[in-house]
Amino acid sequence: MSLISTSMMLYQFDQNSATSDWRIVDDVVMGGKSSGDFHINESGNGVFEGSVSLKNNGGFSSLRHSETFHIQSRKNIRIHLKGDGSNYQFRVKSDDSDRHSYIAEFPTSGEWETIEIQLSSMYPAFRGRKLSIANFDQDQIVEMAFLIGNKKAQKFKLEINSIELF
């Protein structure tokens, strides 16, 4: 008998979504000058936007959400979003004490699209360096994040509708 995996909504944005559920972490934590912002737009989607600066050895902006989700037999993440044509990262942590994140990089097309990420393909990294430990193989997620850091100064805008585990 096989287990049937049902999907689990990790976050569904709407007009009533609390922006306080999410926090911005920019390179200013290490002296950089990048600036990200997060708000809910008139359509009820989360909007992560701002500018990435390379000044003072900076170069990233991120949007993070902390909440514990038990994965069970689910193996993938599905994100419905609209990017600006830039490349982004989706990141997860499996333990609050971990300094590293597990990362999947994805391009955006400028149109609404659904990004699917296999959890086992997410590689571990800390401060931009890949680590020599196994890819994601954990039983929970305690933090999820979006990050832009393409080694160039740029404006960015990522509109997010939903994030689902399946």
Burial 83-114 (b: 16+ CB within 10 A, else e): bbebebbbbbbbeeeeebbbbbebebeeeeee
Give the model confidence (pLDDT) of 135-149 as tens digits.
999 999 999 999 999
Please state, in angstroms and rounded to a whole number, the distance separating the CA atoms of residues 123 and 158.
22
89 in a domain, yes or no? yes
CATH of the domain at 92: 2.60.120.260
pLDDT of residue 4 exceeding 60, the answer is no
With a cut of 70, say whether residue 1 has pLDDT above it.
Answer: no
Question: What value does the mean pLDDT take over residues 128-134?
Answer: 95
165: in domain: no
| Residue numbers of the domain that contains 77 | 8-125+136-156
Task: Count how many domains the chain has.
Answer: 1
The pTM for the full model equals 0.94
Q: What is the pLDDT of residues 77-115, one digit of tens each?
A: 999 999 999 999 999 999 999 999 999 999 999 999 999
**Is 95 part of any domain?**
yes
